[in-house]
């Protein structure tokens, strides 16, 4: 159940923060939080990460991203249910990715674009604006990589132990 609680928490937090932004700001408006480093802005991103495929026509872009997200969500739930239900770290990682994907899918269905609002920058050099869902996806991917490294280390230790036991 942890898997679904984490995913639901991400979705609710993502949608709540986006609702505040949509109601409080106009598109393009920003509020400096840490001048010269961090602003809250209201940006509608028609593409994926870093505006990827944002220039595709709306008639192609929206159905494409919706389809890709529905397929990804289905695969995540299937994979978790089938293979990872007992692996706590991998479950949390996939739940973060799932919650983030669904959070951004809700935006695409509601607005045809994703609401982004976290803007980090140094002077005029900006990191592309992002949101809670994007953060959850990034953290989830990082945790999946950590889980893979930990699995690799466990396997390496097990192989070393087995080899040492065979020599005795």
Q: What is the pTM of this model?
A: 0.87
Give just the sign of the alpha carbon dihedral 134, 140, 143, 148. negative
Please report, rounded to a whole number, the percentage of residues in the chain having pLDDT higher than 70. Answer: 92
Mean pLDDT value of segment 18-27: 97
**pLDDT over threshold 70, residue 55:** no
For the annotated catalytic residues, the residue numbers are: 116, 134
- pLDDT mean across residues, the chain: 90
Counting Cβ atoms within 10 Å, is residue 49 exposed (0-12), middle (13-18) or buried (19+)? Answer: middle
Please report, rounded to a whole number, the percentage of residues in the chain having pLDDT higher than 90. Answer: 67
């Amino acid at each position: 159940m942890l898997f679904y609680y984490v995913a639901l928490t991400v979705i609710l937090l993502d949608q709540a923060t986006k609702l505040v932004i949509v109601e409080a700001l106009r598109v393009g408006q920003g509020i400096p939080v840490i001048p010269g480093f961090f602003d809250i802005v209201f940006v509608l991103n028609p593409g994926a990460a870093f505006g990827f495929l944002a220039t595709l026509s709306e008639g192609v872009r929206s159905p494409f991203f919706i389809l890709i997200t529905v397929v990804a969500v289905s695969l995540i739930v299937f994979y978790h249910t089938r293979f990872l239900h007992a692996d706590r770290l991998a479950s949390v990682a996939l739940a973060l990715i799932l919650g983030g994907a669904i959070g951004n899918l809700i935006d695409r269905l509601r607005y045809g674009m994703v609401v982004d609002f976290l803007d980090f920058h140094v002077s005029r050099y900006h990191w592309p604006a992002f949101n809670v869902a994007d953060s959850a996806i990034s953290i989830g991917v990082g945790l999946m990589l950590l889980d893979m490294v930990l699995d690799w280390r466990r396997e390496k230790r097990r192989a070393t132990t087995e080899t040492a036991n065979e020599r005795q």
